[in-house]
Amino acid sequence: MDSKLEIRLVLFPSYLRIAALGRVVHCEEDAAATGNQRHRIGVQFVRIGETAQEGLARHLIELQSAQLRRQRGR
C-alpha cells in the first residue's frame, strides 16, 4: 500500500480525459472476480487539476442521476 500512481481516465460516454496522481489506500482480493482482475484497489487523488476535478464531479452526478431515474422506473 501507499504506492504512487499516475492515473489516466477516459470517462464515457462524454470521452472526458482526466490525468491525475494518486496513492493506493487499500487493496483487497475480490473472491468473486475472474481472470486478471482479482483485486479491488482504493486510490486517493493526490494531485488533480481543478478542471479535471470539476469534470469528474459532473460525470459522477450524471451517473447517479441516471441510476436514480432507472430505479424510479422513468
Question: CA 11 to CA 43: how far, in whole Å?
Answer: 17
More confident residue, 30 or 25: 25
List alpha helices for the chain, DSSP H: 50-71
Q: What is the pTM assigned to this prediction?
A: 0.74
- The string of pLDDT tens digits covering residues 12-27 is 988 999 999 999 999 9
Question: CA 11 to CA 73: how far, in whole Å?
Answer: 25
Residue ranges of domains in the chain: 4-71
- So what's the pLDDT on residue 37? 78
